[in-house]
Structure 1
Amino acid sequence: MRIGVIGIGVIGTRHMSNLIAHEDVSIVAVCGNQEEKTAEIAREYGAEPYTDYKLLFERSRLDAVFICTPPGLRKGPIAEAAARGVACFIEKPPAKSMEEAEAISAIIEESGIIHSVGFMYRYTGAASKAKELIAAEGGVVPIVRSVHVCGAGLVEATTPRWLYNKTLSGGPLFDQAIHLIDAARYITGQGARRATGLHAFGGNVQRPKSEEYTVEENFVVNLAYESGMVHTHTHSWGIAESQAKIQLLGRDYRLLVDLTRLGSRLHGTYKGEQISLHYADENMYAEEAAVFLQAVRTGEQAFIRSSYADAAQSLALVIKANESVDSGRSVTL
């Protein structure tokens, strides 16, 4: 299987290290925006280097491509791949705006290519088991609470500086919170089919806004769904000790999905029984790539847990959450 990779930063190279573990996979072309770095990575993997993704597609015969560009630079590579019938693994968030997401959805639907969006938490053991248990209860969770905190906004952090520009990055909601909101949607299934409203608040305590730091560092997002399910998400870039967790509260269960590190955990009670599971050997990034490769080999999109159309629904929620913060108003969906 001949693979191309467009975007060779942290995420792109992480995927490459997982891809080469598959004996039937060859990384044949890579594309980056820095010629010297791109050539160096290409030599490491025995690939051809490009700084123009159009040339990559014109000169390379590919079975699949991993698109790991910033979110506003996805449509062009996806369109080039779709025109050639090349399967696409697309990093999250799936687009920069809903207008772009709708255009990409149309391209993918018309071409019928195998595709996947990189919401890796959907491929963890804890999320999968929680989804199974919730489905057995009808899929509607009364209360969902999630939290994702880290030190990305602290002065000593090594965070890429462009992420601190809300216009470029969308801030913590767009970059990280989308993962927890998406994972909660995945786990609860039918209960999260249609969101009806949200209200979000943002603030800065440890690090005030400045010319180089235009994001809110702390958020609370409240979501309401047509099923009656309500979800509260708390997010911060100002907490040194990282955690990423989803709590599911129902009449007969209290489940905590801990996604803080590689090797997810599921704790709590379910119908009077204690649950304590640790998926110590999992690698969610390797798993999502492996499932995508399986779908490409077989031509079966059904293997994929995060289609573009579904991913766009999670995107819409964080876009509206940012709008709510900026306007100071609740949003009806």
Structure 2
Amino acid sequence: MRVGIVGAGWAANEHSATLARLDGVTIAGFADLDVTRAKELAARYGATHHATAGSLIAAEELDAVVVATPPGAHREAAIEAIEAGLAVFLEKPIARSLEDATSIAAAAEAAGTVCAVGYQWRAIPALDSLAAALEGEGVRQIVSEGTGITQARSWFSNTALSGGLISERGSHHIDLQRAVGGEIVSVQTAGSRLVAQELGHASDLGRGTETGVAMTLHFASGALGIVHVLWVPETYPSRHRLTAFGSTSMYELDLDPVFSLRRDSGEPVLPDPAGEHPFAIGLIRFVDAARRQDPEGVICSPREAASTLAVVVACEHALVSGRTVPVEPLTGTAG
């Protein structure tokens, strides 16, 4: 299986390392507007380098493409690959706008191609155990915490490419809450800002960027979701956790880097299993699905990722308006 990678940043580096150790997978080429970065990665894996996704797709005989560029640059590369008959793995979020997201999802569904989006927490083994534990008693409230080092990219403050903290960090928690609690119909958002100097290495964020966000999610079921995410300096402790409150029990799901599920009593439901990190599992599952030509075999489909983006966009609007904002229903035909 020959794979091309669009992008040469952090995510491309991580995905390359995973692909390189899979039997029968060859990294054929990289594409990045920063050709120097593409050339350096290509040299590491004995691959070719290109300036654009179109050039990569035209020059190489590929079976699949990994798109690891900023979200605002996803649409063109993804649809080019889909129209060329290739399987596509997209980094999250699926796109910057709902128009782009629904276009990608519709193209993949029309072509019947395998397309996945990298919401890796859907690959946590404990998630199935949590769903089974909550089955029958329902969900009353879900609380997500996401505190971690900034790891700012220069494009985070470019609204055409990224939604900042809500999009880059918060969307992971929004997507996980959707996986546990179902569809979200409206949201409220509040944010806080710190000057760059207070975050040390986070100067790339720019002055107007939120460094702390709290989101309230209203589920169609009547349940309530709360998400708070915070960018912090390197010396600050990180914590990523989801707590689900059912009718009779509470469950705590520890997230990156440890994945384990506990009941309210503290008794483990499913301990952290040995094996692959969910970031790698999502890509490995995509490769397996692409080999089988099975669009249903991925961790997160483009339609699911587009539904998560609809909540992200609503949260962004709520942050600006200070009001409760309904989640816009998706247009287009589901596969």
Regarding TM over 0.5, the answer is yes
Aligned to 2:139: 141
- Classify 1:80/1:205 alpha carbon distance in 2 versus 1 (closer, same or farther; 3 Å): closer
CA-to-aligned-CA distance 1:76-126 (integer Å, 9 cap, x gap): 111111112100001101010111112222211211110100001111123
Structure 1 CA distance for aligned equivalents of residues 293 and 132 of structure 2 = 26
Aligned to 1:74: 74
- Superposition pairs for residues 74-153 of structure 1, below 5 Å? 74-134=74-134, 136-137=135-136, 140-152=138-150
SS in 1 for 2:323: coil
CA-to-aligned-CA distance 1:249-284 (integer Å, 9 cap, x gap): 1122211111131x41212248x9653612243311
Q: 257, 262, 267: which is aligned to 1:267?
A: 262
Aligned to 1:196: 185
Deviation, 1:330, is 0.9
Aligned to 1:181: 174
Q: Give the residue type in structure 2 aligned to 1:253.
A: S
Aligned to 2:243: 247
SS in 1 for 2:215: strand
Deviation, 1:208, is 9.4
Deviation, 1:165, is 4.5
* Preserved contact between residue 118 and residue 288 of structure 1 (Cα < 8 Å): yes
Structure 1 CA distance for aligned equivalents of residues 58 and 315 of structure 2 = 39
Report which stretch shifted further, 31-40 or 118-127.
31-40
Q: Give the residue type in structure 1 aligned to 2:260.
A: R
Structure 1 CA distance for aligned equivalents of residues 50 and 125 of structure 2 = 37
Structure 2 CA distance for aligned equivalents of residues 284 and 131 of structure 1 = 17
* Preserved contact between residue 171 and residue 215 of structure 1 (Cα < 8 Å): yes
Alignment of 1:316 onto 2:315: no
Q: Give the residue type in structure 1 aligned to 2:155.
A: W
Q: Give the residue type in structure 2 aligned to 1:265.
A: S
Deviation, 1:328, is 1.0
Alignment of 1:163 onto 2:175: no
**RMSD (Å), alpha carbons:** 2.2
Deviation, 1:142, is 0.8
- Superposition pairs for residues 231-242 of structure 1, below 5 Å? 231-238=225-232, 240-242=236-238
* Preserved contact between residue 129 and residue 269 of structure 2 (Cα < 8 Å): no
* Preserved contact between residue 206 and residue 238 of structure 1 (Cα < 8 Å): no
* Preserved contact between residue 188 and residue 323 of structure 2 (Cα < 8 Å): yes
CA-to-aligned-CA distance 1:214-254 (integer Å, 9 cap, x gap): 11111111111111111011111136211111100112221
Structure 1 CA distance for aligned equivalents of residues 63 and 34 of structure 2 = 25
Structure 2 CA distance for aligned equivalents of residues 181 and 304 of structure 1 = 19
CA-to-aligned-CA distance 1:106-150 (integer Å, 9 cap, x gap): 21121111010000111112323223323x336x31110001112
Aligned to 1:155: none
Q: Give the residue type in structure 1 aligned to 2:186.
A: G
Query: Unaligned stretches of 5+ in structure 2?
Result: 328-335
TM-score (norm 1): 0.89
- Classify 1:117/1:276 alpha carbon distance in 2 versus 1 (closer, same or farther; 3 Å): closer
Deviation, 1:25, is 0.3
Deviation, 1:162, is 2.9
Report which stretch shifted further, 67-76 or 239-248.
239-248
Q: Give the residue type in structure 2 aligned to 1:162.
A: W
Structure 2 CA distance for aligned equivalents of residues 32 and 168 of structure 1 = 15
- Classify 1:225/1:49 alpha carbon distance in 2 versus 1 (closer, same or farther; 3 Å): same
Structure 2 CA distance for aligned equivalents of residues 330 and 243 of structure 1 = 28
* Preserved contact between residue 268 and residue 276 of structure 1 (Cα < 8 Å): no
- Classify 1:203/1:72 alpha carbon distance in 2 versus 1 (closer, same or farther; 3 Å): same
SS in 2 for 1:107: helix
Identity %: 27
Report which stretch shifted further, 308-317 or 248-257.
248-257
